[in-house]
Amino acid sequence: MTTQLLTRRKHSPRSGQPLIGELELKKGRLHECCGSARHLFALLMIAQSEGPVIWISPSWMPDALNPDGMVGLVDPARFIFVSPQRPEDILWTLEEVLRSGIVTLAVADIPGMPGLTQVRRLHLAAETGGVEGNLLPTGLLLTPGDGGAQGVESRWKLSPAHKPAEDGWQLKRLRARTEPVAEWHVKQNAGAFSLMGQTTG
């Protein structure tokens, strides 16, 4: 039996793709995450979504997701893994998935930065997917280093910030079209993730 807590706060359906706490990403757009914990960022997004998720990564990249490590956050059975063998097929695959509108979330783990024209095509594909498909898809690029893909809707960075008796991460919103630069501490307690101490720049 579940218990619902009552509050005086107005409740309205969330229009964006939930992330952690009150944070959400705009649907029908392309977002980016960098940092050494970027895969965790993607898994947190997936945990807040429903249905199958398409995960695209090059066949030559050595760091594939481990189902045993994912099972505490998301059901590995939800994933459809696609591993293109040619670099040019990675973003092409993401574009086709977004345009189809058959999933709410598609992730591409890419080894380099896409061009501005490619990013614009991905935005248009996501918008088309919302019209022609059954769902309004959200695209997520996982980029190396400090990221820097031009034209994305938002850019995030997630890095480990663990303490001796506590798992934690530093989450930064490096760029967003409608939100300021901000930073949070992400805390994990009993399997649940929460945001602490927002600062804005």
Euclidean distance between CA atoms 96 and 84, whole angstroms: 13
What's the pLDDT tens digit per position in 92-144?
999 999 999 999 999 999 999 999 999 999 999 999 988 877 778 999 999 99
Burial 93-123 (b: 16+ CB within 10 A, else e): bbbebbbbbbbbbbbbbbeebbeeebbebbb
Q: Are 18 and 46 in contact (CB under 8 A)?
A: no
Euclidean distance between CA atoms 72 and 43, whole angstroms: 10
At 12 the pLDDT is 42
What's the pLDDT tens digit per position in 8-35?
444 444 578 899 888 999 999 999 999 9
Structure tokens at 108: 């591409």
- pLDDT of residue 2 exceeding 50, the answer is no
At 9 the pLDDT is 41
- pLDDT of residue 200 exceeding 50, the answer is yes
What's the pLDDT tens digit per position in 29-81?
999 999 999 999 999 999 999 999 999 999 998 777 888 888 889 999 999 99
Whole-model pTM: value is 0.89
Euclidean distance between CA atoms 132 and 102, whole angstroms: 9
Structural domains in the chain, CATH included, are 23-153 (3.40.50.300)
